[in-house]
């Protein structure tokens, strides 16, 4: 058989349902071998979007998302999305074509060392030199993408290798090993927690990745320990749960940090240091840390680990549960929770034009009723979503926070709808981020997926203006001219709704969510609230 045929058979063996990508001359044998396959090739309009789709698909399904590009510029276009998956710990297998082996030792048309380029943004990057290694390389790639903390891997298939004759069979897929932390460390951690009077849990995305949400909830409830989550761990507790202290992650001082200031031990569970450096929440390195994760703790001066439970997060929580005594919920938590609820909802009903971010998100929560998967792009709106928008379930708010790549929302929403077709999917983006990959509306329309896109429209890079104003009290080089987004959406066969006043927002959101088509809502946003929030948080001192 042809090597590319064997390659496709191995992908089928791994259970691949979709490949997101763009065909090119050097991957044409592989694309041709997909004819008659059970794998659907999702043609996109930019390789970056393909990688973002693979990232979100992998995050929501727990199975590696697969993306494909050709050599040279196709591969480098893929790189941003692959880097996003790498730092956000999403399982992704990126496949690229390459020039034939006979010309990669010299300067050649479109040839650059893609293996070298991808080595810094993947867990493993490997070229296929001979076709009979294809089954081993593909099995290793999918296993590596899921092992320990998941992430991106890369396979390069040169065009001459792809068309060689070969023999072989896919290697059977086996279950990943599940490791448990050492009992000695479990007892040490339990002793620390049992001595503490004010323990607090910092839950990271590893809780969701390892399927440990229920275990975390049961542990917190049984021991009366409050829980704070990172941006990417939203939904580990429902928004109305008495033990949730909501989300931490703003670099400015925030109200929720009172919980850390008052704690005498911090239990980090599935915490990825790339999301939120310890110096922001343990700034004097005073609080001892109990570290629970699939990998050992990163060395950091503000992260003084005294017990380290390394292994499957769910197994570690369940093992620890039997050794930890029930606590009395410390009284300051109740007051802090009431204060947080008040702060999070104090602007829910503010009316006007343009519309403040808090009102947009409050109305969205009313409209989607806790059912939607929300994909956040990167920009000022991301910080408002991270701080204000509390989902009821894990993986119902997807935020790029490690690599923090603009342009993820629209392609990510398409992938989310493919992964979870029965759920409403909402992409929230700024106008700057939308213009990076908004052309994927064409992909959504071709696939017939119904998604809602909400644009926070201010004709500038609002987050950069926010940072500039905080630092220099002036801004520069952040404004641009937008197209007519309604006409843009309609040109792709989607519906567009313009919202200028808060009174019109909720009906527009409800209409869009109930629609069975693509709906773009263009909302004029009042980002003067950004600097107000920075000042409020900057002046805030814990007063419990």
Distance of CA 540 to the CA centre of its chain: 29
What's the rounded Cα separation, in Å, for the pair 23 and 87?
Answer: 26
Residue 196: φ, ψ to 5°: -75, 145
- Which of 76, 112, 108 has its CA nearest to residue 94? 76
- Which of 290, 280, 267, 390 has its CA nearest to residue 337? 390
Query: pLDDT at residue 450 above 90?
Result: yes
Query: pLDDT at residue 518 above 70?
Result: yes
Strand pairing partners for 42? Answer: 20
Q: pLDDT tens across 300-353, in order?
A: 999 999 999 999 999 999 999 999 999 988 888 888 888 888 888 998 999 999
- Which of 459, 476, 471, 435 has its CA nearest to residue 526? 459
Mean pLDDT over residues 410-437, rounded?
97
Residue 391: φ, ψ to 5°: -75, 170
What's the rounded Cα separation, in Å, for the pair 355 and 360?
Answer: 7
Half-sphere exposure of 190 (CA within 13 A, CB side): 19
- Which of 294, 129, 107, 270 has its CA nearest to residue 204? 270
Structure tokens at 391: 């989902």
| pLDDT given for residue 105 in this prediction | 67
Q: pLDDT tens across 189-231, in order?
A: 999 999 999 999 999 999 999 999 999 999 999 999 999 999 9
| pLDDT given for residue 339 in this prediction | 85
Query: pLDDT at residue 420 above 70?
Result: yes
Question: What sections of 275-356 are H helices per DSSP?
Answer: 313-321, 331-345
| Sheet containing 199-203: order of strands | 244-247, 227-229, 199-203, 265-269, 289-293, 305-310
Confidence of residue 405 (pLDDT cuts 50, 70, 90): very high
Residue 269: φ, ψ to 5°: -125, 115
| pLDDT given for residue 337 in this prediction | 86
Please, what sign has the CA dihedral across residues 299, 301, 307, 313?
A: negative
The mean predicted confidence, pLDDT, of the chain is 93
Strand pairing partners for 227? Answer: 201, 244
Residue 81: φ, ψ to 5°: -65, -35
Query: pLDDT at residue 100 above 90?
Result: no
Question: Could you write out the DSSP letters of every residue in 114-168?
Answer: HHHHHHTTSSEEEE--SGGGHHHHHHHHHHHHHSSS--EEEEEEEHHHHTSB---
The helix or strand, by DSSP H or E, that contains position 219, with its residue range, turns out to be helix 213-223
Specify whether the CB–CB gap between 429 and 490 falls below 8 A: no
| pLDDT given for residue 539 in this prediction | 59
What's the rounded Cα separation, in Å, for the pair 44 and 53?
Answer: 10
* Lowest-confidence region among 214-223, 242-251, 396-405, 470-479: 242-251
Specify whether the CB–CB gap between 512 and 523 falls below 8 A: no
Structure tokens at 518: 């693509």
| pLDDT given for residue 299 in this prediction | 93
What's the rounded Cα separation, in Å, for the pair 136 and 180?
Answer: 28
Query: pLDDT at residue 397 above 80?
Result: yes
Query: pLDDT at residue 277 above 60?
Result: yes
| Sheet containing 452-457: order of strands | 397-399, 373-376, 425-430, 452-457, 519-524, 495-499
Q: Which residue has 């791994």 as its token pair?
A: 14
Q: pLDDT tens across 106-164, in order?
A: 566 666 789 999 999 999 999 999 999 999 999 999 999 999 899 999 999 999 999 99
List of domains in the chain: 3-162 (3.40.50.970), 183-328 (3.40.50.1220), 346-536 (3.40.50.970)
- Which of 226, 212, 214 has its CA nearest to residue 270? 212
Mean pLDDT over residues 261-289, rounded?
90
What's the rounded Cα separation, in Å, for the pair 162 and 134?
Answer: 10
Structure tokens at 201: 């849990």
Query: pLDDT at residue 97 above 80?
Result: yes
DSSP state of 458: -
Helix, strand, coil abundance in the chain, percent, nearest 5: 45, 15, 40
At 528 the three-state DSSP class reads helix
Q: pLDDT tens across 345-370, in order?
A: 998 999 999 999 999 999 999 999 99
Query: pLDDT at residue 541 above 60?
Result: no
Structure tokens at 236: 């580990």
| pLDDT given for residue 281 in this prediction | 87
DSSP state of 323: T
The set of residues, in sequence order, having a beta carbon less than 8 Å from that of 318 and lying 6+ positions away, is 215, 219
| pLDDT given for residue 57 in this prediction | 98
Half-sphere exposure of 176 (CA within 13 A, CB side): 19
Specify whether the CB–CB gap between 115 and 126 falls below 8 A: yes
Mean pLDDT over residues 223-242, rounded?
95
Distance of CA 510 to the CA centre of its chain: 26
| pLDDT given for residue 233 in this prediction | 96
Specify whether the CB–CB gap between 251 and 277 falls below 8 A: no
| pLDDT given for residue 390 in this prediction | 92
Confidence of residue 467 (pLDDT cuts 50, 70, 90): confident
Q: pLDDT tens across 14-54, in order?
A: 999 999 999 999 999 999 999 999 999 999 999 999 999 99
**pLDDT-above-90 percentage for the chain:** 81
Q: How many residues does the chain have?
A: 544
| pLDDT given for residue 471 in this prediction | 87
Helix axis angle for 213-223 and 313-321, nearest 10°, is 20
Specify whether the CB–CB gap between 239 and 305 falls below 8 A: no
Q: pLDDT tens across 54-82, in order?
A: 999 999 999 999 999 999 999 999 999 99
| pLDDT given for residue 344 in this prediction | 85
Rg (CA), the chain: 24
The model's pTM: 0.95
**pLDDT-above-70 percentage for the chain:** 95
Confidence of residue 496 (pLDDT cuts 50, 70, 90): very high
| pLDDT given for residue 538 in this prediction | 55
Question: In this predicted model, which residue has the larger pLDDT, 251 or 472?
Answer: 472
| CB contact burial 362-399 (16+ within 10 A = b; e otherwise) | bbbbebbeeebbbbbbbbbbbbbbbbbbbbbbbbbbbb
* Lowest-confidence region among 109-123, 180-194, 412-426: 109-123
| pLDDT given for residue 108 in this prediction | 64
């Amino acid at each position: 058989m042809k090597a590319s045929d064997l390659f496709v058979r191995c992908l089928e063996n791994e259970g691949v349902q979709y490949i997101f990508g763009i065909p090119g001359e050097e991957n044409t044998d592989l694309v041709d071998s997909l004819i008659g396959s059970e794998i659907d090739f999702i043609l996109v309009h930019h390789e970056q979007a393909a990688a973002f789709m693979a990232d979100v698909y992998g995050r929501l399904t727990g199975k590696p998302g697969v993306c494909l590009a050709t050599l040279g510029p196709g591969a480098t276009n893929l790189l941003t999305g692959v880097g996003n998956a790498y730092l956000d710990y999403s399982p992704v297998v990126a496949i690229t074509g390459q020039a034939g082996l006979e010309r990669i030792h010299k300067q050649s048309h479109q040839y650059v060392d893609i293996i070298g380029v991808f080595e810094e943004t993947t867990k493993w990057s490997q070229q296929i030199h001979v076709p009979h290694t294809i089954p081993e390389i593909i099995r290793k790639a999918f296993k590596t993408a899921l092992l320990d903390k998941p992430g991106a891997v890369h396979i390069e298939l040169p065009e001459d290798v792809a068309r060689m004759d070969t023999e072989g069979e896919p290697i059977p897929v086996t279950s990943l090993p599940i490791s448990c932390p050492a009992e000695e460390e479990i007892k040490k951690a339990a002793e620390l927690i049992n001595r503490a009077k004010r323990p607090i849990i910092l839950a990271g995305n590893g809780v969701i990745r390892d399927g440990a949400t229920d275990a975390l909830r049961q542990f917190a409830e049984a021991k009366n320990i409050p829980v704070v989550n990172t941006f990417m761990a939203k939904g580990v507790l429902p928004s109305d749960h008495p033990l949730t202290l909501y989300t931490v992650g703003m670099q400015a001082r925030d109200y929720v940090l009172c919980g850390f200031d008052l704690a005498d031990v911090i239990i980090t569970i599935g915490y990825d240091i790339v999301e939120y450096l310890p110096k922001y929440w343990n700034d004097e390195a005073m609080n001892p840390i109990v570290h629970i994760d699939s990998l050992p703790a990163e060395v950091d001066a503000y992260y003084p680990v005294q017990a380290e439970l390394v292994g499957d997060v769910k197994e570690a929580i369940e093992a620890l549960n039997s050794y930890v005594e029930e606590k009395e919920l410390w009284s300051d938590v109740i007051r802090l929770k009431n204060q947080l609820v008040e702060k999070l909802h104090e602007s829910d009903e503010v009316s006007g034009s343009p519309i403040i971010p808090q009102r947009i998100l409050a109305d969205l929560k009313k409209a989607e009723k806790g059912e939607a998967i929300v994909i956040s792009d990167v920009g000022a709106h991301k910080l408002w979503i991270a701080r204000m928008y509390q989902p009821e379930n894990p993986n119902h708010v997807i935020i790029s926070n490690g690599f923090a790549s603009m342009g993820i929302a629209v392609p990510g929403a398409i992938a989310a709808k493919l992964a979870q077709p029965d759920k409403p999917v909402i992409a929230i983006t700024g106008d700057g981020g939308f213009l990076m990959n908004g052309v994927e509306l064409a992909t959504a329309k071709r696939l017939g997926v119904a998604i809602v896109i909400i644009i926070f429209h201010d004709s500038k890079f609002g987050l950069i203006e926010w940072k500039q104003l905080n630092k220099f009290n002036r801004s520069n080089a952040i404004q641009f001219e937008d197209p007519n987004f309604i006409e843009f959406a309609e040109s792709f066969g989607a519906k567009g709704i313009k919202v200028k006043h808060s009174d019109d927002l909720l009906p527009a959101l409800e209409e869009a969510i109930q629609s069975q088509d693509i709906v773009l809502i263009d909302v004029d946003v009042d980002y003067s609230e950004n600097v107000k929030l920075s000042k409020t948080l900057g002046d805030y001192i814990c007063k419990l």
